[in-house]
Amino acid sequence: MDLTLGGFHHLTAITANAPGNLDFYTRVLGLRLVKKTVNQDDTTAYHLFYGDGAATPGSDITFFDWPAAPARRGTHSVTRTGFRVDPASIGWWRDHLAAAGVKMTEPNETTGRLSLAFEDPEGQRLVLVADERIGARHPWEKSTVPPEHQILGLGPITMSVPALGPTEQVLTRVMNMQKLRDYPVSAISSNSVHVFSMGEGGPSAELHVAVEPDLPVAREGAGGVHHVAFRTPDHEGLTAWTERVRGFRMPSSGEVERYYFRSLYFREPGGVLFEIATDVPGFTADEPLETLGEHLSLPPFLEPRRASIESRLQPL
């Protein structure tokens, strides 16, 4: 079986302010709340999924709602999440984010792509990246952002490790990624970022690995990232990945049923939690596309506890 990852499936981060998080990602970024559910391992916390109008795999940034202290930045972590936009939209986004009082830098070119780095109110580090290979668009008709400027999906994701070698071995030998190029972390740093590509490549399928041995170890918290997930088409593909990871003697979760997708979790040597998730069945498994995210959705095994779960969640 051809084990080629299709790019990013989703990225899951942490918020300590679910109402504020909902406001920023829907009102300011114009994303659609495509699933309002709970953390299946901690049902006192929301799990909020934001994506494009069709809830396309590869468009989702998701959040666990935990009363956590702010994250401490450092290595052994995902450090910035990319979103793809039309190249002609970067200027519009600069003006839009400025009007919303968002902390950001000026647009600049990184490895040949125009980008705009910014932060959400909790310090979550994000970047808009111009994507020449736009592909299919799935705009949300109720978005605050005009259709031509809406976020197309996840873009390059950057992680930090203290040493490249062990992580590179997993990315290339286990996960079948290709190493493409490298570039400096910044104009004043001697550290480098190494670019690895999946599937058909392009911004939607690039993992950027910064090697930063001089940084402290990150501490998980609000404004930080919990894990990054990669795409496999179906359950057969996930089973093949499970066997492959086991064959390399890497500890893993084994297959986990998340109802909207099935997953495999493992940590790469730099300490970042990886997930491989199926594209199927998707978020329309329990509610129609037209009304995604409007009500609290629970997987069947949690449905009998709905009243108890709802009573412990704050209103959004």
N residues, the chain: 316
pLDDT at 136: 82
pLDDT at 146: 98
pTM over 0.95: yes
Buried-exposed string 242-261: b where 16+ CB fall within 10 A, e elsewhere: bebbeeeeeebeebbeebbb
Instruction: State CA 8 to chain mean position distance.
Output: 7
> Which is nearest to 148 in space by CA: 60, 94, 89?
89
- Segments in the chain below pLDDT 50: none
pLDDT digits (tens, 9 = 90+) for 234-282: 999 999 999 999 999 999 999 999 999 999 999 999 999 999 999 999 9
Assess contact for 38 and 309: CB atoms under 8 A.
Answer: yes
pLDDT at 264: 98
Pairing of strands 8-15, 225-232: antiparallel
CA 222 – CA 216 distance, rounded (Å): 18
